[in-house]
Amino acid sequence: MDMSWVGELRAFVEACKKDPALLVDPSLAFLRDYLTSLGADLPAAAAAKSGPKVPTHPTPLISVPINEEDGTDMRDPTVETDELDADIVESDLELEGDVVQPDHSDAPQKMGDPSFEVTEESRDASQKEKGMATEAISEGKLQEAVEHLTKAILLNPTSAMMYATRASVFIKMKKPAAAIRDANAALQINPDSAKGYKTRGMANSMLGKWEEAARDLHAASNIDYDYEIKATLKKVEPNAHKIVEHRRKYDRLWKERNDKKSERDRLRRRAEAQAAYEKERGASNHQVEACLVVSLAVVCLEECVVTFLELPRGCCVPQHQLNTYLRSSMTTI
């Protein structure tokens, strides 16, 4: 079979690639129908000439994200990568008020035995020790006051007031850890102990635990308000408020950072999916071009067969006439 028509066929395909409108020619209706049956995606004009058909290539499920404000392509997001990858460094808070070193190195004070059976005699003895402690406090003998209150607690371990009173002495001695232990014991016995909340709040303020201090002092003032609580709150509340606002600020910054990072990752995944789709679509187009070449070759062969069938029986066609016919057939197509 003479393959001299292949060059012209290739030239025709190249011409169609440069100007797809060539396929609109009415004489190529049979070719358009054939390409459509192979699943080819014809140009809009050529498809219209071929009549209504169901599109063989659906509209891409993934659209290119466009920034509505400036119309920029967001497939390659340029969100502040360095900013998102860097940690947020929190600034230091400037807080007012002095704090003391915690007295954790001191041996824990003696605590009462909850299972101890308190009698009338032991309760009276406990009150006597408490009175002696009060006298020692007035004289500034704080260590002696602690010793008397310890005896009072051992004699009556069910008294929240005894623990709270010793806690107040530890506050004066600048031993906040010991004061907190006694305040916790007082509140365990009596959850409504105003003095327990007050002493624990004051101890927390000494340790610079401003939020905990404000919470305890407010609880104490709700039960039994006094001017000492008011004075302490005046020092504690500004610091507690600064801490709350500081936390809110950086919680917001971290949330914004994480939201931006999530959006960047989402756009990256979307862009990768778009690129994969376009790559697959490009491969599909190459297959369509190959189908076009094959189909044109088939059409030419079919035309040749039809022509030969129409020749009179026994007729012999010279080679040069056959070549001329093939070239004229390609020109017509």
In DSSP notation, 83-134 reads HHHSPPPPPPP---S------TTSPPPP---TT----HHHHHHHHHHHHHHH
Quote the pTM value: 0.51
d(CA 46, CA 51): 9
Spatial distance between the Cα atoms of 253 and 246, rounded to a whole number of angstroms = 11
How far apart are alpha carbons 176 and 303 in whole angstroms?
105
The DSSP secondary-structure symbol of 308 reads H
What is the DSSP track for 180-230?
HHHHHHHHHH-TT-HHHHHHHHHHHHHTT-HHHHHHHHHHHHHHS--HHHH
Is 168 among the domain residues? yes
Of 173, 206, 239, the last residue of a domain is 206
Per the CB < 8 A criterion, the answer to whether 264 and 78 are in contact is no
Is position 171 within any domain?
yes
Residue 151 inside a domain? The answer is yes
Cα distances (angstroms) measured from residue 327 to each of 13, 22, 35, 49: 15, 18, 22, 26
Residues 46 and 124 in one domain: no
Q: How far is 229 from 219, CA to CA, in rounded Å?
A: 10
Domain end among 182, 206, 230:
206
Provide the 3-class DSSP secondary structure of residue 80: coil
Q: Does the residue 137 lie in any domain? A: yes
Domain span at 314: 5-58+283-332
Task: Report yes or no on 214 lying in a domain.
Answer: no
Query: In this structure, what are the phi and psi dihedrals at residue 332, rounded to the nearest 5 degrees?
Result: -65, -40
Residue 165 domain flag:
yes
Among 157, 182, 206, the domain boundary falls at 206
Q: Looking at the structure, do residues 28 and 114 belong to the same domain, yes or no?
A: no
pLDDT tens, position by position, for the chain (333 residues)?
A: 556 666 777 777 777 777 777 777 777 777 777 777 777 777 665 555 444 443 444 434 334 445 444 444 444 444 455 555 555 555 565 666 566 666 666 788 999 988 888 899 999 999 999 999 999 999 999 999 999 999 999 999 999 999 999 999 999 999 999 999 999 999 999 999 999 999 999 999 999 899 999 999 999 999 998 999 999 999 988 888 888 887 787 788 778 888 888 888 888 898 888 888 888 777 666 665 666 656 665 555 555 554 544 445 455 545 555 555 555 554 544
CATH code, domain carrying 144: 1.25.40.10
Q: Are residues 199 and 131 in the same domain?
A: yes
217 within domain boundaries = no
Contact 46, 32 (CB under 8 A): yes
Indicate if 115 and 194 belong to the same structural domain: yes
At 214 the pLDDT is 93
Residue 161 lies in a domain: yes
Q: Within this chain, do residues 117 and 201 fall inside the same structural domain, yes or no?
A: yes
Total domains, the chain: 2
Query: Helix, strand, or coil here: 75?
Result: coil
* Whether 200 and 130 share a structural domain: yes
